[in-house]
Structure 1
Amino acid sequence: MSWLKKHIECVRQAADKWLNPENNVLQEAIRKTGDEGLFSRQDIEFQLSVLRENIQNNEIEQWVERAGLSDQKNAKDNKVLCLHAGNLPLVGFQTALGTILSGADYYGKLSRKDPYLLGSFLDGISKAGLDQHIQYTTDLSDFKGLQADKVIFAGSEESVPDVKAKVTDLNATKDEAKYIIRTAKFSIAYLEDWNESINQELVQAMLRYGGKGCRSVAVIVADFGLEEVKEELEEAIRRFWSENPQHLKPAPDVRYQYAYNEAVQRKQLWLKNFLIQESEDLPDTDFTVNWVQGGDEKVSKLKTKFGRKVQSVYTTGKEIAGIETEDLSTAQRPNLWWKPDGVDVIERLIK
């Protein structure tokens, strides 16, 4: 059996074992995460259900094939330092999995906001008999003198200089180390039509995980105005909150924006803890989504305007010239091979 086939099989078996609902190690990680108020059990279980579906659909194998990983083309003997974000439960899973699949030695700095879930996976994968080093910590200084070949960082654009300075001070990378930086903030949805199914998919895309992920919709471009669907959208949002009460949190900044909108007579959907407003501005306030009436040309214009802050553009089947789009239904249920900031982890690591 070739190295790659054996490698994939080991990773696949370890992932299956970890994702098993009867895995006590995973259940303990879920319990700790919930008890410390890091993430809700509903969001954790939702994320795990997506990953189980990904693995069961042979997406590990498909991802490897798409990326061009092979016995001859891999990242073996490379040290990869992964600096994971912690804004969503298991947000670093794809990066960790991709790094391990590439054959590189994995060194992960886990976020203190999500240390248990990803850690439980890494504990399991380290026992799978893989021919590579796997190490993780929540303290970057543990990697002093590491001399990594590549660094993968996910976080805010503003923090990039500080992160690079810290890594350099620790001598954690080689002088010629390559950085893979991910700083996208939000996604855009384009709606040509409106029906109950689209309504539900849009609400899930906006509200799951409190709308904090880069795949979360913060800008909606539609062929129709907000007023035309306001009542149906409000009902769907309230229904989502009744099923996911963990997302119903106070949002003081939104109150001020609501008051301003009232004063200038801007059309909006105000739900006290969440606001959808007609605006073409950059969506930089939590719990706020901007609605823009327009067609695919407007989508292209806004994507250019917001630049690297945009992760994905979702549609309900519409193709937009010059823009790679994804189906709205996959916003919070992406394939394993989705590309944060347009980058395939495995593909970049094996170059």
Structure 2
Amino acid sequence: MEDALEQWLEGRSRPMAPLHEAIHKTIEDRLFPQADVHFAVDHLSASLRQSALRRWLDDSLSHPDISPRKDIVLCLHAGNLPLVGFQDVLAVLLSGAGYAGKLSRKDPWLITSFFNVLRQLHPQIPVQISTDLAGYQGAAFSRWTFAGSPDNLQAVTDRMAAMGIIRQKASVLPRTAHFSVAYLAQWDDSCLPDLVEGILRYDGKGCRSVAIVYSNIPLEQVAEKLRDEADRWLQVNRELTNPGPLVRFRKAYNDAAGIPSVVLGTHLVQEGFAVPDHPEIVYWQPARDIHAPRLTFADALQEVYGENATPLMQAQRPPADWRPDGVNPLAWLLQAE
């Protein structure tokens, strides 16, 4: 694994190498902004060091009732971010299992480029890749992972069972949380770069993206600083920074209704409370109880960032062993059925 990762990541700057070609295709096909693709690869290069993988594996092996896997695990990958499902890839391979992946058509090249390297170095590892579930008809997988809307999970399960892709009582690891919050009770302007990154990176579409900010500082008091920091971020990371129709409409409504709000490029931050309903709208709330967001949003909430919580700087830079929906995927795979 370590050799394959090192060779794969080193290829990003080497013409004709699998990762270099995958990055080029992804950007050329306009699947994701260029800056986001390079950010995702940079983050993997920094986070997937030998010590990080070994620490994750050692921690997972310390759980009770674990055993190396010898079967093939199916991973259904989302396509909202570049390389969004790569932790599942690592977890499956570290568990000893073979990998079968249903890749999103929105991100077909990047993960595939890793397996091109892995196959050259370790052709004995079972690997199957497809962008079409029909390619796995009759496979009868006993374990699978899912990332997406909880509203779709049952329909996907029923469809795959009917096609014989999974067994009737197959174990599934679902990841359905879809937003995170920043809890900044003690405001400090030094948080601005990480806060803006947490809001704007990946256009707010990731489950780790900040959708609500809890702070006892009124939004109007920091709006200009937020806008200035966002302008600096946008100059480096985006070509088009004009707000869309929804943001323009919401801003006009807020102005008419006297609701404080500020436009950050393609996003709007506004005071008020609501369940996050669109990645371009971020809500600003008073900070009263750090436990309140988890109680309010339950399984829809991925992370709470701030003091005595996950560091805000990790919002878009999670460690290798982070736990989507609170579950260590490697430990889950290693647990005996």
Structure 1 alignment gaps of length 5 or more: 1-10, 320-324
Contact 1:205 1:331 in 2 (8 A): yes
- Matched to 1:330, the amino acid is Q
- Matched to 1:349, the amino acid is L
In the other structure, the counterpart of 1:328 is 312
Contact 1:69 1:350 in 2 (8 A): no
Whether 1:301 aligns to 2:292 is yes
Whether 1:104 aligns to 2:97 is yes
Contact 2:184 2:287 in 1 (8 A): no
In the other structure, the counterpart of 2:108 is 115
Contact 1:69 1:102 in 2 (8 A): no
Secondary structure of the structure 2 residue equivalent to 1:326: coil
- Matched to 2:304, the amino acid is V
Match of 1:170 among 163, 173, 183: 163
Change (3 A) 1:271 1:334: closer
Structure 2 alignment gaps of length 5 or more: none
Partner deviation per Cα, 1:62-85 (whole Å, 9 max, x = no partner): 110111179x94342222110000
Contact 1:218 1:290 in 2 (8 A): yes
Contact 1:255 1:272 in 2 (8 A): no
Please tell me the root mean square deviation across aligned C-alpha atoms, in Å: 1.8
Change (3 A) 1:289 1:171: same
Secondary structure of the structure 2 residue equivalent to 1:127: helix
- Matched to 2:108, the amino acid is P
1:127 shift after superposition: 2.9
Contact 2:234 2:265 in 1 (8 A): no
Contact 1:254 1:285 in 2 (8 A): no
Match of 1:27 among 20, 25, 30: 20
> TM-score when scaled to structure 1?
0.90
Match of 2:38 among 24, 38, 45: 45
1:135 shift after superposition: 0.9
Partner deviation per Cα, 1:140-191 (whole Å, 9 max, x = no partner): 1100111111110001122112211221121011222101111111101011
Contact 2:33 2:238 in 1 (8 A): no
Secondary structure of the structure 1 residue equivalent to 2:212: strand
1:58 shift after superposition: 2.0
1:50 shift after superposition: 0.9
Aligned residues: 331
Partner deviation per Cα, 1:232-280 (whole Å, 9 max, x = no partner): 1110011111111146254211222222222321111134632101112
Match of 1:124 among 117, 130, 134: 117
The separation in 2 between residues aligned to 1:67 and 1:247, in whole angstroms, is: 43
1:102 shift after superposition: 0.6
Contact 2:211 2:279 in 1 (8 A): no
The separation in 1 between residues aligned to 2:240 and 2:285, in whole angstroms, is: 24
The separation in 2 between residues aligned to 1:271 and 1:208, in whole angstroms, is: 12
Secondary structure of the structure 1 residue equivalent to 2:228: helix
In the other structure, the counterpart of 1:348 is 332
In the other structure, the counterpart of 1:12 is 2
In the other structure, the counterpart of 2:241 is 248
Whether 1:289 aligns to 2:273 is no
Spell out the pairing of 1:132-211 with structure 2 (5 A cutoff).
132-211=125-204
Of 139-148 and 126-135, the range deviating more from structure 2: 126-135
Partner deviation per Cα, 1:274-320 (whole Å, 9 max, x = no partner): 2101112111123111000123x1x42232121211100000xx22x
Of 18-27 and 146-155, the range deviating more from structure 2: 18-27
- Matched to 1:58, the amino acid is S
Change (3 A) 1:308 1:201: same
Partner deviation per Cα, 1:124-151 (whole Å, 9 max, x = no partner): 2233327531111111110011111111
Contact 1:16 1:55 in 2 (8 A): no
In the other structure, the counterpart of 1:277 is 270
- Matched to 1:53, the amino acid is A
Whether 1:213 aligns to 2:213 is no
Secondary structure of the structure 2 residue equivalent to 1:132: coil
